[in-house]
Structure 1
Amino acid sequence: MSSTATETLSVVVEREIPFAPEKIWRALTQPHLIEAWLMKNDFKPVLDHRFDLRADWGTVDCRVVAVEANRRLSYTWAAYGLESVVTWTLTPTGAGTRLRMEQSGFRPDQQQAYQGARQGWPNFLDRLEQVLARPLAG
């Protein structure tokens, strides 16, 4: 079967994290905490809110497309021709939370962006876990 232009790739990273969903949610939605593990931003967990993620290499244009407090967060992620969606899913477990990050929408001709995301997200999640391990206000 030949591949079509509509076929896209996804990057999925899942972690079991020994913290409650509420604590992880704060780190995913509070701008000063997002900056500590991901990038500078003007994020708000509000449907249709447009925000930027800013790094040395450039800016990611984003828009919130789903917000379910402590359960699911989804936003578009557009940069350098990449039109993708990042979805965070938080599932409570006996030991804490299963955190799942999926970035979907990589076209087959966007191998550089795809490989960059495959390498980048595990590093971002490592930093997220370090932020969670610190005593957080709130």
Structure 2
Amino acid sequence: MNEIHTVVVERDIPHPPEKIWHALTQPHLIEEWLMKNDFQAVVGHRFNLRGEWGGVLDCEVLAVEPNRRLTYTWNFAHEDAAFDLKSVVTFTLTPTTTGTQLRMEQSGFRPEQRQAFGGAKTGWPQFLANLEQVLARLD
């Protein structure tokens, strides 16, 4: 049986969902907190995320619910095909009395992908900390 692993990071952010959505969907802002990209919030749009480490992630937008939910694939072709990463990232925005609960879930890690899974577990909290810094500057 193939066990699939998931990384989940949740944050309470003192900004309204609309402001967070803007930072999740505008290419110039995504570049500030995540990576260079050619993102468009359109279901079916294929785009790349380009890391400073030289890697390129091939992505496709799967779901767009403005100010509520954004889902896209997060795929990385490894030189050893057995380690190709085919995963899905979902951002869920839930309004709270103090702002928004942001939930990021990346699913699809196979057991042999320990390095990719570990990278996601340490990387996403940093990406979301960067996102909060971008949001603080957007006033």
TM-score in terms of structure 1 length: 0.94
The gaps in structure 2 that reach 5 residues or longer are 79-83
5+ unaligned residues in a row in structure 1: which ranges? none
Q: Deviations over 1:102-126 (max 9, x none)?
A: 0000000000000000000000000
Deviation of 1:56 (Å): 2.4
Identity in percent = 67
CA deviations over 1:33-52 (Å, ceiling 9, x no partner): 00000000000000000000
Structure 1 residues 55-93: Cα deviation after superposition (integer angstroms, max 9, x where no partner): 122100000000000000000000130000000000000
Match of 2:101 among 82, 98, 101: 98
Whether 1:45 and 2:41 are equivalent positions in the alignment is yes
- Contact 2:14–2:98 (CA<8 Å) still a contact in 1? yes
1:23 aligns with 2:26: no
For the residues of structure 1 that align with 2:31 and 2:138, how far apart are their CA atoms? 16
1:87 pairs with 2:90 = yes
Q: What's the counterpart of residue 131 of structure 1? A: 134
TM-score between the two structures when normalised by the length of structure 2: 0.93
Ranges of 4+ aligned residues in structure 1 off by more than 4 Å: none
Aligned with 1:77: secondary structure? strand
